[in-house]
Structure 1
């Protein structure tokens, strides 16, 4: 089984932006990337296992579908393997992959009507005391309302909104990932917030 094929079984646990890696890990990434570009399958497999869970979590957030997210990450690693000669050594491998996955997901969203599943939206945090059935039902209804509201966002708005509101990325990073200006990224997030606010007015 190739390192690409093994990436399909990666778990989506925890979330840390790739740039949060320490200097030692980034240096290790650079060494592994250099070896992988020379045809070292084992080195690339280590990169897949190191960054796969983070990227799978990102793709799931963007697409709202675990199965589609797995496909997107798989295809992104295949693309990265083929494009390793293009990789700039002064860039972080994790950031490069983050950009590839983000754009892969954006293409998927553009090809279909965006739908977010309830599993991709965090449930409201439970109170320390037991929540009443009525409050629990209200929480589920709010989550469902948000799911429906997300459908009205354009793929571009959705990607920028998730990167900002869910992943907490700064606007300059979002602009770099999507290939737009910071002003455009801010505009897309603003419009997405406005549309979601209007759609969720009953839950304020």
Structure 2
């Protein structure tokens, strides 16, 4: 487990030198959030698994280019979001009915049903809005980090988040 910034920097340096164990230790505290970002963007566990794998490879390959200008976690969540978006874009060749195959409203009877409803609601949100929401709520990125990632002003991030939350709320209340 990473205890401080110095040990994280040490793990990054060792991973850059090809130490696979250091790389594994470096990513261990982030695995759950990487998964959460990928599953929320893709909306499908199998696609999220593919995205996480692509993300890990991209992090490994990109580690020599990580300059430390942002936090390591910010950098890897950005990579995860991009990997998940790549999966979604490739999946668009699937008929729209399959992508938005929404389960019947289960009435929120248990946590799994709630999860399914949220996933379905997220799939209805426009991609740029969904990514901003996922990066904020599941990735823990700041408005500034999201703005940098999406190449937009901070005020636009706030607007996208507001619209995304409203769209999810509306989708969850529709029967």
TM-score after normalising by structure 2: 0.73
Q: CA deviation at 1:88?
A: 0.7
Q: Please report how far the alpha carbon of residue 151 of structure 1 lies from its aligned counterpart in structure 2 after TM superposition.
A: 3.1
CA drift at 1:157 = 1.3
1:139 aligned onto 2:69: no
Match 2:148 to one of 167, 176, 180: 176
Deviations 1:45-94 (A, max 9, x none): 22232322321122122222222212111111111211222111454322
1:1-204 → structure 2 map (5 Å cutoff): 24-111=3-90, 112=92, 115=100, 138-140=107-109, 143=114, 147-165=119-137, 169-202=141-174
Q: How many residue pairs are counted as aligned between the two chains?
A: 164
- Structure 1 gap ranges (5+): 1-20, 119-136
Q: Which moved more, 1:34-43 or 1:104-113?
A: 104-113
Structure 2: 5+ residue runs without aligned partners? none
Is the partner of 1:138 in helix, strand or coil? coil
Q: CA deviation at 1:145?
A: 5.8
Answer yes or no: is the 8 Å Cα contact 1:35–1:43 preserved in 2.
Answer: yes
Q: Secondary structure at the match of 2:129?
A: helix
State the alpha-carbon separation in 2 of the partners of residues 27 and 117 from structure 1.
46
Q: Which residue of 2 aligns with 1:122?
A: none
The answer as to whether partners of 1:59 and 1:101 remain within 8 angstroms in 2 is yes
Larger radius of gyration: 1
Partner Cα distance (1:167, 1:116) in 2: 26
Q: In structure 2, do the counterparts of structure 1 residues 84 and 147 end up closer, same or farther at CA, with 3 Å as the change threshold?
A: closer
C-alpha distance in 2 between matches for 1:71 and 1:78: 11
Query: How far did 1:195 drift?
Result: 3.2
Alignment partners' CA distance in 2, 1:80 and 1:147: 26
